[in-house]
Amino acid sequence: MDVPVLHRLALNESPYPPLPSVREAMRRAVAQAHRYPESHPDDLTERIAAWCRVPPDRVAVGSGSVGVALQLFRAVVRPGDTVAHAWRTFDAYPLLAAMAGARSVPVPLSPDGHQDLGALLAALDHRTRVVVLCNPHNPTGSLIGAEALSAFLRRVPRHVTVLLDEAYVEFARGADLPDSPALSGAYPNLLVLRTFSKAYGLAALRIGYGLGAPALVERIRGQQLPFGINAVAAAAVKASLRAESELRRRVDTVVAERERLRDELVSIGWRVPAGHANSVWLAAPDPVGEGAAALAGAGVQVRHYPNEGLRLTVGDRKASDAVLTALAGLRGQRRAPNA
Ligand SMILES: Cc1ncc(COP(=O)(O)O)c(C=O)c1O
């Protein structure tokens, strides 16, 4: 018998629905749905640029951050080129590379779940057109600090564009975070990729953006589908920018819940590395296959990478409690109710 899904923790979504002010902006935009949106999202681009404190010619908007990544690949890749990225990573990169006609070059993660920057550099050659870094990393949540990132960027040849995917950056904390908007002004071959799908909770609306040097941004905009950004989504993003402090508080709640979940998982015997995204990572050789089965049996959807690990999105407190109960039971331990 199928177990009903009680908690969706498989796709690193926000547990929160849109704020009332955002819903109201969407409702107003829906009432104008017989009108076309802007052919190119200049107004939205200007708002995002002002919010990021960069000039508008350094911002490209697209259909989710995957849309912007595809625009980049299509802008720079020629037949026979390659795209280097860590593996395991976000599954979309090899798919997007293939859509643009490139061959993927996967580079294994270090045993501790970090992207191996030395090995990635060593994998670059004259055919490489893009190297992808994911920071914080999906699925392990590991973080590349400011110094390591700068050293990497200094060593990447200029014919290679660095796609720095920061889909989860709002969930990262600490003194060593890279100032990526500033870096994207300093390196003409760097595109910083961000999204409204995660911290801003608008995954269904498909809006992402990239920050880069004007010449690179212009090439990426050249691949933008005219009228491709829908007006309801644009209205929701603008309303979200106006509600930023409220949304930041939601992110703080998710970060606090991530730390609680991690501490409790450690206390029941799982080894959980420090994570900087809205997820926690349980890695083999801990019994991740049994963990996946126990969670599925408890109606908790997570992402299982057989023989590698389990990625659990951080949801609300109730969802974490369901995770802890399922995984504690598995290891023969008992969790005190509401501990
Ligand atoms: C690392 C990473 N980048 C990008 C995305 C997709 O974001 P978007 O919804 O903006 O396309 C995801 C979604 O899971 C992700 O994990």
The pLDDT of residue 329 is above 80: no
Protein residues whose CB sits closer than 6 Å to any atom of ligand 1: 12, 64-66, 90, 134, 138, 165, 167, 195, 197, 203, 208
Which amino acid is present at 189? N
**Percent of the chain scored above 90 by pLDDT?**
95
- Confidence band of 160 (pLDDT split at 50, 70, 90): very high
- What is the reported pLDDT for 129? 98
Q: What are the sequence ranges of the domains in the chain? A: 7-15+245-330, 20-242
Q: pTM of the predicted model, to two decimals?
A: 0.96
Most informative mutation of 13, 61, 66, 205 for ligand 1 (most atoms within 8 A of CB): 66
Cβ-based burial of 62 (10 A; exposed 0-12, middle 13-18, buried ≥19): buried
CATH fold of 7-15+245-330, please?
Answer: Aspartate Aminotransferase, domain 1 (3.90.1150)
Does domain 20-242 fall into CATH 3.40.640.10?
yes
Of 116, 208, 206, nearest in space to 168 by CA: 208
- Give me the residues paired with residue 309 across strands: 283, 305
Most informative mutation of 48, 87, 88, 90 for ligand 1 (most atoms within 8 A of CB): 90
What is the rounded distance in angstroms from the CA atom of residue 236 to the CA atom of residue 242? 10
The pLDDT of residue 331 is above 80: no
CA of 69 to the centre of ligand 1 (A): 10
- Confidence band of 332 (pLDDT split at 50, 70, 90): low
Which residue's CA is the closest to the ligand 1 atom numbered 12?
A: 167
Contact present, 105 and 128 (Cβ < 8 Å): yes
Each residue's pLDDT tens digit, 87-119? 999 999 999 999 999 999 999 999 999 999 999
Contact present, 189 and 160 (Cβ < 8 Å): yes
CA of 242 to the centre of ligand 1 (A): 23
Each residue's pLDDT tens digit, 165-185? 999 999 999 889 999 999 999
